[in-house]
Structure 1
Amino acid sequence: MANPSKAKGTAWESAWTTYIREHHNPDAHRNVQMGVKDIGDVNGYYLHAAELKAEKAITLASYIEQANREAVHAGQPYGCAVVKRRMKGVADGYVVRDVRTDVRLLNRMRDAEEILQSIAPTVYETFDQQHREAA
């Protein structure tokens, strides 16, 4: 690849997609670029359009604007930027959202857990314990 910056970005997208396949969704895959109607770099990050960035200078505001715009194009409720941390592996990268998006996501999780807890308390207890241990 002639453009070293593009090669770094592609390597980051590939590494993150592999990580997501192993730890989250085995069907995750990189998306084809769609220009002004881009839908994010990777499909399969639950409920999110993920915009991946591997740049020396980090500009969170532009990343979040792009991720939120691409979430609309992708029909996903949330956008996030997935930013490579220099000199670190995939698991040490950053997933970034604006506060508005994060509060919407947390409200959704809270409401879903309350529903599960009221309908199936034993299942909720198992679920809660499993996810507390994963941290």
Structure 2
Amino acid sequence: MANPAKAKGTAWESALVAYLRDHHNPAARRNVQMGAKDIGDIDGYYLHALEAKAEKTITLSDYIAQANREAIHAGEPFGCAVIKRRMRGAADAYVVRDLATDVRLMNRLRDMEDALRSVYSDLWRDVDAKHREAA
């Protein structure tokens, strides 16, 4: 690849896809760029349009605005940017979203947990225990 910045971005996207396939969703994949109607860099991060960033100069406001715009294009309720940490792998990346998006996500999680707990309390306890052990 003739453009070193593009090669760095492609390598970062590929590393994120590999991590997501191993730890979240085996069907995660890189998206084809869509121009003005871009839907994010990676598909398969549950409920999110994911914007991957591996840049020397970090501009959070631009990344979040882009991720939120791309979430709308992708039909996803949430957008986030996954920012590479220098000299670190995918597991050490930063996931960034604005507070309004995070509050919507937490409200959804709370409401879904309450619904599950009220209908299937034993299942909720098992799932809760599993995720507490993983922390």
Q: Same fold (TM over 0.5)?
A: yes
TM-score (norm 2): 0.99
Residue-by-residue CA offset, 1:5-51 (whole Å, 9 max, x unaligned): 11110000000001001110001100000000000000010000000
Q: How far apart are the structure 2 equivalents of 1:35 and 1:123?
A: 43
Alignment-derived partner of residue 38 in structure 1 = 38
Identify the residue that residue 82 of structure 2 maps to in structure 1: 82
CA distance in 2, matches of 1:93, 1:125: 30
What code does the residue aligned with 2:61 have? A
The amino acid of 1:36's aligned partner reads: A
* Residue of structure 2 equivalent to 1:107: 107
Q: Distance in 1 between matches of 2:63 and 2:37?
A: 16
State whether structure 2 residue 72 is matched by structure 1 residue 69.
no
Question: Once superposed, what is the RMSD of the aligned Cα atoms?
Answer: 0.5
Which residue of structure 2 aligns with residue 21 of structure 1?
Answer: 21
Percent of aligned pairs with the same amino acid: 68
Once the two structures are TM-superposed, the CA of residue 121 in structure 1 deviates from its matched residue by 0.8
Pairing 1:45-60 to 2, within 5 Å after superposition: 45-60=45-60
CA distance in structure 1 between the partners assigned to 2:60 and 2:76 by the alignment? 20
Counterpart residue number, 1:130: 130
Provide TM-score, normalisation by structure 1. Answer: 0.99
Q: Which residue of 1 aligns with 2:97?
A: 97
How far apart in 1 are the matches of 2:125 and 2:40?
A: 35
Q: Which runs of 5+ in 1 are unaligned?
A: none
Gaps of 5+ in 2: none
Specify the SS of the correspondent of 1:14: helix
Question: Cα deviation per residue 1:62-109 (whole Å; 9 max; x = unaligned)?
Answer: 000000000000000000001001111110001100000000000000
Could you tell me how far 1:129 is from its partner in structure 2? 0.5
In 2, Cα distance between the equivalents of 1:125 and 1:18? 30
Secondary structure of 1:40's match? coil
Partner Cα separation in structure 1 for residue 80 and residue 115 of structure 2: 26
Instruction: List, as ranges, runs of 4+ consecutive aligned residues in structure 1 with deviation greater than 2 Å.
Output: none
